[in-house]
Amino acid sequence: MSGSPVGMSRVGLPEGVDARRRMPAPVAVWAGIGVMFLAVEVWVLTRWIINGGLHLVPGHGAISPAHKAVLWVWQIFLVVAFCATAWHAARTSRRDGHLSVFAAFFIGYFTSFWLTPIFNYQDQVFLPSPHGLNVSSWARYIPGWHGPNLDQQVESVITATGFAVALSLYWVYVALFVLRRFVRSRPRWGVVRTLAATVLAAIITNTILDSHFMLFELDYWPMPTNLALFAGTPNQMPWYETLGPSIFVGLPGAFMIYRAQESNTEVHFLRGSERLSLRLLAGIGFAQLCMFLYVSWNAISAGWQL
């Protein structure tokens, strides 16, 4: 005679207990990814600091007073934007009663600044302005990093490799805004067509926003490429940079938020717990993975020399 013991289900669990509960909640999985990224980050930055890397690097080369004024005005603007975003993250978390999705993105992308030297993992692909507030680079301490001209590598304290990395979360909300508009105006479109149109619109928006960095020479993409905006000039923006932020940063987060709102559930990477520690680590895991894919995309694409 076969059968399960009294009070037990066929999978060996007490009756009434769903076997799916044995699977870890999404928030726990993403928190585990966050722990791994943070462990490497602490290891890299600790070695950088211990070896004297934490020091300001003075600018080199001459720039006009007007150019210098624009650079510092932009850095001040980014500091104000960072503070305003941090305030909104705290406000939404108080409103929700736990770490909000917005706050999780903000903290996650803020902690991902250490990944930016991967841009130059093999070649000198990206450089912040040498005339801003910069420190020496921690690139040499990233496992496997073998880019050239380490003496020319600096990391911005404020702009593209510093505090401003936290503002990458706005790529998510730009893509979310576009996605909602397409869904409302084109309700008969399928998922693939809607996402493709969203990516295209987000790429155009990102290109317009990023072009200001190039025109005012706030950042540089020195890698030679023919397929670029302002190709062959110090202001060029290569093709892979127009795609990367929208595809690897904007779209994944936007799609998760949209699906959660449509089904009236929690965003996937925060689903399963309201504990601050788990949600914080999950946000870090999701954001750092997206940023890692983005900077890796740029590093690999630069080698194609289009």
Asked, for residue 174, whether it belongs to a domain, the answer is yes
Asked, for residue 4, whether it belongs to a domain, the answer is no
* 276 within 8 A of 31, measured Cβ to Cβ: no
The mean pLDDT value for 224-236 works out to 64
Scored b (16 or more CB within 10 A) or e, 21-32 reads: eeeeebbbbbbe
State the residue range of the domain holding 39: 24-302
Q: Alpha-carbon distance 192 to 182, whole Å?
A: 12
What residues form DSSP beta bridges with 219? 128
Say how many domains are in the chain.
Answer: 1
Q: What is the pLDDT of residues 117-175, one digit of tens each?
A: 998 887 777 777 777 888 999 999 998 887 777 777 888 898 888 888 999 999 899 88
> Cα dist. 220→25, 63, 190 in Å?
42, 15, 39
Asked, for residue 291, whether it belongs to a domain, the answer is yes
Say how many CA atoms lie within 13 Å of 226 toward its Cβ.
Answer: 3
* 306 within 8 A of 225, measured Cβ to Cβ: yes
Asked, for residue 272, whether it belongs to a domain, the answer is yes
Asked, for residue 68, whether it belongs to a domain, the answer is yes
pLDDT range class, residue 229, cuts 50, 70, 90: low
* 279 within 8 A of 266, measured Cβ to Cβ: no
Asked, for residue 253, whether it belongs to a domain, the answer is yes
Q: What is the pLDDT of residues 21-49, one digit of tens each?
A: 567 899 999 999 999 999 999 999 999 99
Record the pTM: 0.85
The mean pLDDT value for 224-238 works out to 65
Asked, for residue 193, whether it belongs to a domain, the answer is yes
Please give the pLDDT value at position 193: 81
Please give the pLDDT value at position 266: 93
Asked, for residue 77, whether it belongs to a domain, the answer is yes
Residues contacting 20, CB < 8 A, separation 6+: none
